[in-house]
Amino acid sequence: MRRLLLFIALFLLSLPGLAAAQEPFSVSDAWARPSMGAAQSGAVFLTVNGGSQEVTLAGAQTPVAERAELHTHQMDGAVMRMRQVESIDIPAGKQVFFAPGGYHIMLFGMKQTLEQGERFEVTLETGGGERVTFEAEVKSASYMGPQNGQGHMGNQDHMMDRDHMMDRDHMMQGGQQN
């Protein structure tokens, strides 16, 4: 009888691990900055941890915004600009960082302001239709991420806010390409 109870207990403890192993990828360190005034846009940063097979992220959604898009930064002459990307490949077993100056989830048509300390749900979808939902925490306005600001752009983080402002027309037009 003891062995049977021990077996059942071990089996039940293994269930969360089995469920996690079936996800195409996982998300950690998800965060956003607080809303600034009446801003109608925001951004979510995170780390995507690849699963056992490569997947392609194809979209995002959240209840706090009308629209969520996958974005990156690209040089346009001497100016860094945000641009929507159709997809982002997540290699098997690798991490892909969504950080200031690199990949991020851009939020448009905010349905609520984001206040420091709050959490909200975000869902990423793969090209195959698989979905992973996670929570993002709203950090302070000066927070640069768990890598201490050492995301895709290394020590160029001090340029990011200026670059975002230089491309504010992109944000004000709801992310539409000119």
User: Which is more confident, 173 or 126?
Assistant: 126
127 pLDDT above the threshold of 80:
yes
Q: What is the pLDDT of residues 66-104, one digit of tens each?
A: 999 999 988 889 998 999 999 999 999 999 999 999 999
Radius of gyration of the chain (CA): 18
| Surface-to-core class of residue 167, CB atoms within 10 Å of its CB (0-12 exposed, 13-18 middle, 19+ buried) | middle
Does residue 60 sit in helix, strand or coil? strand
| pLDDT for residue 38 | 81
17: left (phi over 0), alpha (psi -120 to 50) or beta: alpha
Q: Does the model's pTM come out above 0.75? A: no
CATH of domain 24-141+150-169: 2.60.40.1890
Q: What is the pLDDT of residues 1-37, one digit of tens each?
A: 666 555 565 555 555 544 445 688 999 999 999 998 8
Mean pLDDT of 114-141: 96
